[in-house]
Structure 1
Amino acid sequence: MSPYVLEFSRIDKSSLPHVGGKGANLGEMTLAGFPVPSGFCVTTDAYRDFLAQSEQMAGYFQQLDAIQADQLNEIAVLGRAIREHLEQVAIPEAIRAAIVAGWKQAGEQEAYAVRSSATAEDLPMASFAGQQDTYLNVRGEAQLLQAIRKCWASLFTDRAISYRAKNRFDHRAVLLSVVVQRMVFPEVSGILFTADPISGHRGTVSIDASFGLGEALVSGLVSADLYQVRSGAIFAKKIARKKIAIYSLSEGGTVTKELPEAEQERQALGDAQIVELAALGEKIKRHYGSEQDIEWCYAAGRFYIVQSRPITSLYPLAHVAVQPGESPHLLVSFGHQQMMTEAMKPMGLSLIRTMFPFGKASVRAESELTATAGGRVYIDITKLFALKPAREKFPLIMRNIDEMMASAVEQYVQQETFIRGIPPQPGLKKSIVGFIGPILLRAVRNILFAPIAEARPKVEAFVENSVRRGREGLSGISGAERIIRIQEQIGSFMRSAFANLLPYPLAGMLSSRLLRVLISKWLGEEASDLMAVLNRSLPGNVTSEMGLMIGDLADAARPYPQVVELIRSGDPQRFRERLRQVEGGEAFGAAWDRFMGLYGMRCPGEIDVTRPRWRDDPSTLLPSIDSHMRSQQPGEHRAKFAQGAAEAEAAIREVVARLRKQPFGSVKAKLLSRLMYAFRSLMGLREHPKYMMIQHFGMIREGLLDEGRSLVQKGVLQSADEVLFLSLDELLQLTQGQGPSELAKLLEQRKADLTRYRELSPPRLMTSEGEILNGRRKQQDAPEGALLGTPVSAGVIEGIARVVLRPEHANLNKGEIMIAPFTDPGWTPLFHSAIGLVMEVGGLMTHGAVVAREYGLPAVVGIDNATKLIRDGDRIRLDGTRGYVLVLEPSKKE
């Protein structure tokens, strides 16, 4: 047969370059014996030779190269021009003859479905489904050739051009085959997903079904029945009202008909047929080894498969060990707790899994209670819920981290089926009490008895000693010895930090709770108002002090125009070097060096050890200094901090004075005075454990990259930073002369995975079966149309929204409200420039919320997709008391 035409029986997965994703899948299923209607493919060779007939396509491709995905008007004009042009280009005679010969061999009297099949389509990591056109019930030579020509032209529809531009596919590299498949005239048709596409549950087969051809369902013209099958049995059905159906015409083409009233709510498939179809879907999934999106139809008593493609929208599974009979395990996102939800490189994931203190075979091992999915770390919290108190209390603790996460946990762990499937955990209660008990007792002692003035010096001394010991431990060693020492150092870090540092900020948190209760009881007023004042300008907060030093850097730069220009437009990589060449550079450089000595190991997303630190790349820091200069007056940041501290002290004096006038007033005043003093002195210490951790991360990062440079010299790696695409154990093996086989191929795959993972939105909570759990937000008092979130810092403010996706792209001006996906200490420099804060994730005690309260900024967190729903330049009202954001005036920007 001609290279322009291939029968399904001659096609398998290796044929993809010639027949595209759809064609390759149909050939693969035909060879595997699945019930696929017969047919043939017009190959990409035919498309390429057809395109070669045009002298204008080279110019059109140059125009396509310059198109951006959001330039919809330009795409529409260019796409129409290309399609109209291609419909005038002659089909070469050799191609035409091959198609006609293939058609005659398949059966001239048959009707055919003609579909496009792109070479970048229906791949495991990218689906072009629906980007090109389909023509049904095509009859005769003339109709067939016209349908094929239209399929070729459909590679340049608006949606196809935009999709390729968005996903960075080269327009020249995507070729088109055309599938010509014998039509089946079904009684019922639809789509089967071997995993629930909504929840992500991998054990659920989800079937949509309607009468007639499936085009009515795919195009959204009709609602379909929904059937769901688990373990071979139907567990959910939703029968839709199906008003219309699409049927074939004898002369070719299709017609849309209204169904009789009696038919509209009839179940499209019987129960036995549903189970049979689900079993067929499972067989196809097993054949491909991945979850599938399958188009099917039912005619003359049997099912036919007309297409199968990978489901590319599912979030990857977190692989954890689940024993037979156990409940699906519950996994919580570590990134949402740490306010950094972006994908990490493998070394960053490995370091966190090694650092997690529970579920470890040894101090150097990665925790078995952690797993990775989509470049993020998830923690398996299932065993905890074998204890009834944990099922009751854990969701309450989680509310401080993320309200939606807490709600989802609460709903899930109370299900009887989940509880029954958790195996007994002997010794778990004793282990938890043994770990938490001493910490809690020390926290209570800190609240009531311990000399509070000694707390900060003790914490700072512990941090300093820990960092010094860590640096000494990694000094003067290399190779396997250094990697082993890194594993030991980070593997023992959290237990030491918890035991020695947590009692101080925990005492502050407990004091806060007690204060809220006692203030409401004794003073009869809203405790949150007073707590908002007490939260301001907490002493000893190392992250707040870092933010103040950013302001000092801005003030140090202001007198020197050349320094300011360097900050705004200089080369970040050579910033320190170029300071020496400008007026004022020496004075500013001294302040810069002091800052880097204290905080150079920090950066946005700092829990990912693979990220460049400020001392490596100050590009994320310089825009913050610039924003500060534009939004603050000299010394304003220090004055505001002092004012906040003065207001807090005044509030304490007022509360004490009022209590002294009450019965037993001296006792009440003494107790609340102690609690307020404990709260303000100890709460600020909550950032020290993170600060200590990031100092360890900084020295570990230097050690890892040094090992990378050594491996480059030995010819093992191409560049030093390739070590960041390995785990600690893999790097250890490399330093011992072993390591993964086909290392270059492994690194290439992991780099590609990271690119894909960065496009994913990680769920807060999911099960080991892939089911994404979404909680419910409490009903709130908010205006119609408001975006609802969790209130974390009281106050109401109106201003211009400034969407900041990354700190290095920040452009905050005076009077603007920052809209961010999340914030961690590396974002703190921007807080002085904003008048309010909105985040997509977070809770009452997460970083952004704490700093916002300390700075007196109204803040709302937990608004999903806030950075998309609120546009840059919108005028908004932010209510940090009731927890909502309302767009008052949309941005006039295009």
Structure 2
Amino acid sequence: MIGYVLGFGQIDKSSLPLVGGKGANLGEMTRAGFPVPSGFCVTTAAYRAFIEQSSEMPGFFGQLANVKANRLDEIAELGSSIRGHLLTMPIPAPVRSAIVDSWRRSGADKAYAVRSSATAEDLPTASFAGQQDTYLNVRGEEQLLQAIRKCWASLFTDRAISYRAKNNFDHRAVLLSVVVQQMVFPEVSGIMFTADPVSGRRGTVSIDASFGLGEALVSGLVSADLYQVRAGAITGKKVARKKIAIFALPEGGTETQSLPPDMQERQALDDGQIVRLAALGAAIENHYGAEQDIEWCYADGRFFVVQSRPITSLYPLPHVPAEPGEYPHLLLSFGHQQMMTDAMKPMALSVWRTMFPFGKPSLRAESKLAYAAGGRMYVDITKLFSLKPARKLFPKALGIIDERMSSGVAEFVARDSFLRNLPAAPGLRKGIVQFLAPIAARLVRRLLFTRTERMAGEMGAKIEAWTKSCEMKLSGVSGPERIVRVQEQAGALLRFFFRQLLPYPLPGLIASRLVHALANKWLGDPDSLHVLNKSLPGNVTSEMGLMIGDLADTARRYPQVAELIRSGDPARFRERLQQVEGGDAFGREWDRFMRLYGMRCPGEIDITRPRWREDASALLPSIDSHMRTMRPGEHREKFAQGAQEAEAAARGLVARLRAQRFGLIKAKLMFRLLHVFRNAMALREHPKYAMMQQFALIREALLAEASKLTGDGVLKREDDVFYLTLDELLALAEGKLTADLETLLDRRKRDYERFCTLKPPRLMTSEGEIVTGRREQHDAPEGALLGTPVSAGIVEGPARVVLRPEDAKLNKGEILIAPFTDPGWTPLFHSAVGLVMEVGGLMTHGAVVAREYGIPAVVGIDGATGKIKDGDYIRLDGTRGYVLILKPSQPGGN
């Protein structure tokens, strides 16, 4: 039988179900020999015995199961009723006897701290810290028993109920233990993080310290000294003015006292004590194998640890191999560059790491410069900066992708500490020249001489030939041979992308910069490019959007088809079309669309995501939005109008130059640049389109192999294949996978669920430091949300926050607020009058399409989907780069 009380010496980390996270940690540290004040835990068995004597709790639990995290009034009323009920209940006699016996053995004359310890608290992946109550300087039997009863009741505080509801914890399953620990009456106390909680940098111990009990610091009543220690040396020190402190009273309880003036600005710990405390923290971290959040105190010349829990807010570190010199590596988020910051499953990351063409020992191998961290891919760009020109040019190049990323790289590479330790990279310059030279040669030729109207046909022919070749390689094989060919195909993909496809759209990008610069220099007109961007001819993504408009127009003619689309049920959609009037006509257009674009989807760089041809759930709401927000043919009319405006602007630009001195030369150069810009920039989306055709073939091969393995009983579900890497899948197909497959898959699935909740940094170091960069100041109203202007114009209207396209229900006149967009989001652009994104830059997908559609856009507003609410009436200024909330939405409004 499980006892009602366990001493710290009887507890370790495996005791969590009995004593909760806090109790298990205290027992673990006690047994490991760390200086923990002695005590005992009232176990979860005692809590069960207490709860089970109530005939009302089953009804309360039923109500808790249905409560929503945002229904605060309902939570407050229910929580108050439960706490009131529990505080009137007696503690069962056997439980009371066990508690009193342990208290007497520990010392009936001593003072105690009584703290709750929930079974879902202080876990490696979630922290319930502060959800329940703490009672200090508890003296005497009755005070102790009442404090324990209050701790049990505190499992049902408003914040605890709301937290569990929000994070989908079963209220019945979360049990409570109570920690009873001898009080230490400290001269100084505080909190210590064994990694910098602000920057995320590992190895930097951050210490907050103040006089008296730590509760004043934890509750925010006082400012604390801040000390930082790295490698045994103090690297930072900020001494705060500490006006008050909390001290224990002789009769029990605590009081807040004002500190005398001579103590208020005194350093709470001297330098020697700071270094000793940091060493203690490092030892505790080493014991647990993870960064720790530690509560400590100092009394009678000794440090004591009163709690240690994992730091759950840190973004996971990539596993970068240590190198001589141990310099920090700078890692760039691939997801921010690709406008898809969601977590990806291991197979998606493995495919991309195999595709990445640099740092590879062989074609089939994963790149040694690409790392997985928190379900995202990070690229090591460190050694690039051993070349001086790269320190200026690379941040500038990043500026068109993401302003904050650009400024972050520029700031980091300028640090003396980085440059001082950066090793040479022999052969790097030669390798870069060999890689870029053929691309540059093609770029110059196409910029100056090639008939650009032919480029789309040339590029299309290359894409078609490459796709057919890949399709042939992956057909007619299975087992290990199929996986090997997938690896070869993935390994060759980006090489083809860079060498064969990129030289086509690059002249358009260069021409756009030159047109902007020359129009500003010669005519003082830097804004002409905004009009010239409209309705580029032959942009494959724009054509996809227009075809979706055509689908909407066709559906309008057949009410039953429109109703089928509005039902939002993608299951058997194509099959169900055959059962409604007009289904055949719409179906023919649907099939044509799927032949051209069915391999696309939102978040398409994640190869594990179903494509539109497999799951149309993200496509049907877009067609519905188009039907509701636009009249028949309007999308084609707007596109044609945009093309006319762009052509007129181009003619006007050339005519104005022709009237100037040396006008013929200027006009001829501008005419050439405009011609290149309009034709080549339209090809910007073609390489991604080609890549998605490859992804469709690779995905099909992976699923075929998964089907075979499932049929053989090796895998339980076909989509389990996405939780493996390519190398692991090959080993599995060969019967050589040594890991326990079921255990591996379960762990990967739990990790993926956790990674989905994380917000990835744009830039981080191999030590975990998050490099944020700075945004340039904008001419914006007070209170505005600042971002990067990417498509000119000003628009006002209601905000529509869309986290996933399949949930989108845009109405006429609404401004789309999204975390990011990629080509799979394009169907929504026709319905929106403006665009706001959390990530992106001047040349990322959403910005380019917004300019083509002529809608204002601002990108790079961190947290936009949280700061802006559905229905907020906002002003979006795509010229100056800000969003201003003019009128917040009303509670319960749309």
Q: Which bracket does the TM-score occupy, shorter chain normalised?
A: over 0.9
For 2:562 and 2:891, locate their aligned partners in 1 and report how far apart those are by CA, in whole Å: 29
Which residue of structure 2 aligns with residue 642 of structure 1? 640
Q: Report 1:199-278 matches (<5 A).
A: 199-278=199-278
Aligned to 1:196: 196
SS at match of 1:168: coil
Cα distance in 2 for partners of 1:874, 1:719 equals 43
- CA shift for structure 1 position 211: 0.3
Alignment of 1:57-96 (within 5 A): 57-96=57-96
Match of 1:792 in 2: 790
Q: CA deviation at 1:322?
A: 2.9
Over residues 408-460 of structure 1, what are the superposed CA-to-partner deviations in whole Å (9 max), with x where a residue is unaligned?
10000011210121211111111111111221221121111112122110011
Quote the offset at 1:570 in angstroms: 4.6
Tell me the distance in 1 between the aligned counterparts of 2:309 and 2:768.
Answer: 19
Residue type at the aligned position of 2:599: M
CA distance in structure 2 between the aligned counterparts of 1:69 and 1:155, rounded to whole angstroms:
15
CA contact (8 A) 1:790 1:884 kept: yes
Counterpart of 1:322 in structure 2: which amino acid?
A
**Structure 1 residue identity aligned to 2:744:** L
Distance (Å, rounded) in 2 between the aligned partners of 1:573 and 1:739: 36
* Equivalent AA in structure 1 for residue 699 of structure 2: R
Helix, strand or coil at the partner of 2:178 = strand
Q: 1:403 maps to which residue?
A: 403
Q: Which residue of 1 aligns with 2:429?
A: 429
User: 1:884 — aligned with what?
Assistant: 882
Runs of 4 or more consecutive aligned structure 1 residues displaced over 4 Å after TM superposition: none
1:324 CA displacement: 3.1
Asked whether 1:332 is paired with 2:332, we answer: yes
2:844 aligns with: 846
| CA drift at 1:658 | 1.6
Would the aligned equivalents of 1:535 and 1:854 in 2 still touch at CA under 8 Å?
Answer: yes
Q: 2:672 aligns with which of 671, 674, 687?
A: 674
Residue of structure 1 equivalent to 2:108: 108
CA distance in 2, matches of 1:444, 1:637: 36
Tell me the distance in 2 between the aligned counterparts of 1:887 and 1:306: 45
SS in 1 for 2:545: helix
Q: Counterpart in 2 of 1:498?
A: 498
Contact 1:730/1:740, CA 8 A, preserved across alignment: no
2:773 maps to which residue? 775
Contact 1:554 1:629 in 2 (8 A): yes
TM-score (structure 2 length as normaliser): 0.99
How many Å separate the matches in 1 of 2:677 and 2:2? 82
Amino acid at match of 1:561: P
Deviation at 1:524, TM superposition (A): 2.3
Q: Over residues 110-156 of structure 1, what are the superposed CA-to-partner deviations in whole Å (9 max), with x where a residue is unaligned?
A: 00000001111111011111100000000000000000000000000
1:637 maps to a residue whose letter is H
1:805 is aligned to 803
Q: CA RMSD in A?
A: 0.9
* Matched-pair contact (CA < 8 Å) for 1:326–1:423: no
What secondary structure does 1:572 align onto?
coil
What displacement does 1:362 show?
0.3
2:454 corresponds to: 454
Deviations 1:287-346 (A, max 9, x none): 111110000000000000000111111000011123131420000000000000000110
Counterpart secondary structure, 1:854: helix
The answer to whether the Cα contact below 8 Å between 1:13 and 1:25 also exists between their aligned partners in 2 is: yes
- The structure 1 residue matched to 2:891, chosen from 865, 880, 893, is 893
- Looking at structure 1, the residues matched to 145 and 864 of structure 2 have their Cα atoms a distance apart, in angstroms, of 49
- How many angstroms apart in 1 are the aligned matches of 2:774 and 2:657? 40
Which structure 2 residues correspond to residues 466-865 of structure 1 after superposition, within 5 A?
Answer: 466-525=466-525, 527=526, 529-865=527-863
SS in 2 for 1:372: strand
Aligned 8 A contact 2:240 2:265 in 1: yes
| Distance (whole Å) between structure 1 residues aligned to residue 658 and residue 312 of structure 2 | 66
1:345 maps onto 2:349 in alignment: no
Give 1:832 shift: 0.3
Deviation at 1:21, TM superposition (A): 0.7
Query: 1:714 Cα shift?
Result: 1.1
Q: CA offsets, 1:525-550, max 9 Å, x none? A: 2x2x2101110000121011000001
1:651 and 1:285 mapped to 2: Cα distance? 64
> Which amino acid in structure 2 is aligned with residue 611 of structure 1?
R
Secondary structure of the residue aligned to 1:194 is strand
Greater mean alpha carbon deviation, residues 638-647 or residues 437-446 = 437-446
Give 1:289-300 correspondences, 5 Å limit. Answer: 289-300=289-300
User: In structure 1, the residue corresponding to 2:324 is in which secondary structure?
Assistant: coil
| Counterparts of 2:40 and 2:497, CA distance in 1 | 66
Which amino acid counterpart does residue 51 of structure 1 have in structure 2?
A: I
User: What corresponds to 2:864 in structure 1?
Assistant: 866
Gaps of 5+ in 1: none
Between 1:622-631 and 1:570-579, the stretch displaced more is 570-579
Which amino acid is the alignment partner of residue 787 of structure 2? G
Residue 27 of structure 2 corresponds to 27
Percent of aligned pairs with the same residue?
A: 70
Deviation at 1:2, TM superposition (A): 7.8
Amino acid at match of 1:172: R
Partner of 1:310: 310
SS at match of 1:169: coil
Query: Is the deviation greater in 649-658 or in 753-762?
Result: 649-658
Deviation of the 1:102 alpha carbon? 0.4
State whether residues 209 and 269 of structure 1, in contact with CA within 8 Å, keep that contact through their aligned partners in structure 2. Answer: yes
Q: Unpaired segments of 5 or more residues in structure 2?
A: none
Question: 1: CA distance between counterparts of 2:318 and 2:643?
Answer: 46
Paired with 1:655 and 1:28, the residues of 2 have a C-alpha distance of 75
Contact persistence 1:550–1:829 (CA under 8 A): yes
CA distance in 2, matches of 1:3, 1:663: 97
SS in 1 for 2:639: helix
- Following the alignment from structure 1 to structure 2, what is the Cα–Cα distance between the partners of residues 125 and 594? 46
Task: After TM superposition, give the deviation of residue 555 of structure 1 in Å.
Answer: 0.4
Q: Which amino acid aligns with 1:243?
A: K
Query: Would the aligned equivalents of 2:835 and 2:856 in 1 still touch at CA under 8 Å?
Result: yes
Q: Residue 3 of structure 1 corresponds to which residue in structure 2? A: 3
Name the TM-score, length of structure 1 as normaliser: 0.99
SS in 2 for 1:492: helix
- Tell me how far apart the structure 1 counterparts of residues 349 and 73 of structure 2 sit (CA, whole Å): 42
CA distance in 2, matches of 1:27, 1:524: 73
Separation of aligned partners in 1, 2:682 and 2:453? 13
Contact 1:407–1:777 (CA under 8 A) maintained in structure 2: yes
The alpha-carbon deviation at position 228 of structure 1 amounts to: 0.3
Q: Deviation per CA, 1:151-178, whole angstroms, max 9, x where unpaired?
A: 0000000111111111111111111000
1:657 to partner: Cα distance: 1.6
Q: Which residue identity does 1:481 align to in structure 2? A: E
Q: Matched residue of 2:114: which SS?
A: strand
Aligned partners of 1:491, 1:449: CA distance in 2, in Å?
33
1:664-687 CA-partner distances (Å, limit 9, x unpaired): 211111110010000000001011
Query: CA separation in 1, counterparts of 2:422 and 2:737?
Result: 37
8 A Cα contact 1:136 1:254, kept in partner? yes
| Structure 2 Cα separation of the partners of residues 422 and 8 of structure 1 | 48
Displacement after TM superposition at 1:491 (Å): 0.3
Code of the residue aligned with 2:644 in structure 1: it is: A
Using the TM superposition, give the Cα deviation of residue 571 of structure 1 relative to its aligned residue in structure 2, in angstroms.
2.4
The answer to whether the aligner puts 1:168 opposite 2:168 as a matched pair is yes
Q: Number of residue pairs matched?
A: 892
Q: How far apart are 1:797 and its partner, in Å?
A: 0.7
Q: Distance in 1 between matches of 2:519 and 2:285?
A: 61
Check conservation: 2:114, 2:148, Cα contact below 8 A.
yes
Work out whether residues 20 and 120 of structure 1, in 8 Å CA contact, stay in contact via their aligned partners in 2.
yes
Following TM superposition, by how much is the alpha carbon of 1:893 offset from its aligned partner in structure 2, in angstroms? 3.1
Partner of 1:444: 444
Q: Which residue of 1 aligns with 2:181?
A: 181
